[in-house]
Amino acid sequence: MYKSQLIKQTQKQYIQSTRFLSSTCQLLKWNEIPLAPPDKILGITEAYINDSNSKKINLGVGAYRDNQGKPIIFPSVKRAEEILLQKENEKEYTPIIGSKKFQNIVKNFIFNNSGKDANGEQLIKDNRIVTSQTISGTGSLRVIADFLNRFYSNKKILVPKPTWANHVAVFKDAGLDPEFYNYYETSINDLDFENLKKSLINAPNESVVLLHACCHNPTGMDLTSEQWDEVLQIIQDKKFFPLVDMAYQGFASGKPYEDIYLIRKLTKKANENEIPTFALCQSFAKNMGLYGERTGSISIITANSNDSKAVESQLKKLIRPIYSSPPIHGSKIVEIIFEEPGLKDQWLNDLNKVVGRLNTVRSKLYEKLDKSNYNWDHLLKQRGMFVYTGLTPEQVIRLRNEFSVYATEDGRFSISGINDNNVEYLANAINEVIKK
C-alpha cells in the first residue's frame, strides 16, 4: 500500500476517534477537528531518523548539507553574527514593513545590483517599487496573496504543474483560486513548452501568474531567455499580473546576479509600461542559509509613485494585525553582510562554493548511473537544489524499503543529501530499481 493511502487511513481513524471521544462536554464546544495531514517532508525525515541502516540517505530536506552530510553556517554569516553580537545595543521593533535600510539593500541588490540594471534603477528613482521585509519567502507569498485578494481584479492564480507543494495551500488559504498551467512533461523528463504557452493563452485575461525566477522547484528546469521572451509576450497580451517567486537566487549559476534575468526583463517591460506592474517574493533562506531565521521580502512594482504610497500604506495595514513587525536577527545579518567591507564578496564566494558542490555531486551521480536502457540526460539540464529523477512512486518506495534511501514520491531528490561517501551506494540503488 502506498504511504499516501496509509496516511488517509490513519487520518480517518483519528477523525472517528476524536468524534467518539469528544462526547464529553467541553470538547463538544468545537466543530469536528480533523487531524490535518502531516507535512510530507517531515514524515520522510522521521522515517529516516528511525531507520537503523547505517547506509541510509535522506534526500527529502531542502536545506544544504556539506560533503560530510552536516548543516553549515555560511562563513560570511558567522562573521556577521560575531559583529552583531559585539555591536548590537538594542532589539527594538522595526517598522511594520522592516527597516528602511533592509528595504533599500534588497531593492538595490535585486533591481539595480550596484548600477548594473538601468531599468531597475529607473524604477527605484521613480518610486515605483514598494519593498517590505517579510517572514521569508512563504510569508512574502502569503502577504502578496492576501493583498491581491483584497485589491486585485481577479482571484485566479495560475501556477505551474508541478510546483512547490505549499504554493497551493498558501494561495487557497488567502482566498485566491489556484489553477495549474502546463509546465513539465514527465514522459520525456522535460519542459513542455508548447503546452505551457497553450495553457497560458487559454487562461482568463488578467489572471495572476506565478513564475519561478530560477531553479524551478521541484523540476529544476527553467525557461531559456528566448522562452521567457515568448511567455512575457503572452503575459503582456493577456494582461496577466506576474508574481515571481525567487527562493533560489544564485543556485542556478552560482552567481545571484546572473540568475535574475527574468527580473531584468520584467523591469524593462515595467519601464516601457508593457507590463506595468508585478510582484517579487524573495527569500534569503537558501542563498544565505538563513532558513529558520525567516528572512525575505516582498517587492511590488507599481505604475507610479502615487500608487506606491497607497500600496505601502495598505501593506502596513495588512501586516499589522497578523504579526506587527518582522523578526530582526536575520535582517540584521543581511544588513551587516551588505555594509561591512568585504563581507558581501565573501558571501558571494560562500554561495558559489555551495552551488559548486551541488553541481559536482550532480555530475558524479550522473556518471555512475546506468544509462544502458534509461536516459538520464535531464539530470544535467536541471539546476538548483534538486534533481527531478522521473522515478515512479513505486521505484521511490523500493528505494526506501530496500535501500533506506528516503525521498518524496514525486521522485525529487535533494542533492545536498548526496556526498562523496554515499554517491556510489545511491547510484547502485537507483540502477537496481530501474532494472526491468
Ligand X SMILES: Cc1ncc(COP(=O)(O)O)c(C=O)c1O
Catalytic residue annotation: 164, 245, 286
Q: Which three cell numbers stand for residue 429?
A: 540503488
Among 117, 121, 222, 245, binds ligand X (CB under 6 A): 245
Bridge-based pairing of strands 177-182 and 295-301 is unpaired
Q: Which three cell numbers stand for residue 221?
A: 528546469
Q: What is the rounded distance in angstroms from the CA atom of residue 361 to the CA atom of residue 357?
A: 6
Q: How far is the CB of 381 from other proteins (least distance, A)?
A: 28
Question: Whose grid coordinates read 525529487?
Answer: 412
**Torsion-angle region of residue 136: left (phi > 0), alpha (psi -120 to 50) or beta?**
left
What track of x and - describes contact with ligand X for positions 309 through 348 (by CB under 6 A)? ---------------x------------------------
Q: Which three cell numbers stand for residue 367?
A: 556518471
Q: How far is the CB of 212 from ligand X (least distance, A)?
A: 6
Interaction of residue 254 with ligand X, rule CB under 6 A: no
User: Contact at 8 Å (CB) between 393 and 6?
Assistant: no
| Residue with Cβ nearer other proteins (31 or 187) | 31
Among 118, 204, 272, 292, binds other proteins (CB under 8 A): 292
Query: Which of ligand X, other proteins, none is residue 217 near (CB under 5 to 8 Å by kind)?
Result: ligand X
The DSSP 8-state label assigned to residue 186 in this structure reads T
Interaction of residue 296 with ligand X, rule CB under 6 A: yes
Among 8, 116, 320, 381, binds other proteins (CB under 8 A): 320
Q: How far is the CB of 320 from ligand X (least distance, A)?
A: 10
What track of x and - describes contact with ligand X for positions 264 through 293 (by CB under 6 A)? -------------------x-x--------
# binding residues, ligand X (CB under 6 A): 13
Give the interface segment with ligand X, choosing from 13-21, 31-39, 96-104, 134-142 (CB under 6 A).
134-142
User: Contact at 8 Å (CB) between 267 and 119?
Assistant: yes
Per-residue b/e over 202-218, b at no fewer than 16 CB within 10 Å?
A: ebeeebbbbbbbbbbbb
Nearest residue to ligand X, by Cβ distance, number only? 137
Q: Which three cell numbers stand for residue 340?
A: 561591512
Interaction of residue 410 with ligand X, rule CB under 6 A: no
Amino acid 252 reads A
Those residues whose C-beta lies under 8 Å from the C-beta of residue 32, and which sit 6 or more positions away, are 15, 18, 19, 22
Give the interface segment with ligand X, choosing from 135-143, 200-208, 222-230, 312-320 (CB under 6 A).
135-143
Q: Which three cell numbers stand for residue 418?
A: 548526496
Other residues' Cβ atoms within 10 Å of the Cβ of residue 126 = 15
Residue 84's nearest CA partner among 341, 350, 331, 342 is: 331
Interaction of residue 133 with ligand X, rule CB under 6 A: no
Q: Within a 13 Å sphere around the CA of 402, how many CA atoms are in the beta-carbon half? A: 14
Other residues' Cβ atoms within 10 Å of the Cβ of residue 424 = 12
Interaction of residue 356 with other proteins, rule CB under 8 A: no
Residues 32-71 that bind other proteins (CB under 8 A): 33-39, 42, 63, 71
Interaction of residue 206 with other proteins, rule CB under 8 A: yes
Other residues' Cβ atoms within 10 Å of the Cβ of residue 426 = 24
| Residue with Cβ nearer ligand X (191 or 247) | 247
Among 54, 89, 372, 401, binds other proteins (CB under 8 A): 89
Interaction of residue 31 with other proteins, rule CB under 8 A: yes
Q: How far is the CB of 281 from other proteins (least distance, A)?
A: 12
Interaction of residue 384 with ligand X, rule CB under 6 A: no
Q: What is the rounded distance in angstroms from the CA atom of residue 280 to the CA atom of residue 291?
A: 19
Query: Which of other proteins, ligand X, none is residue 164 near (CB under 5 to 8 Å by kind)?
Result: ligand X
**Given the rule CB under 6 A, which residues bind ligand X?**
62, 136-138, 164, 212, 217, 245, 247, 283, 285, 296, 324
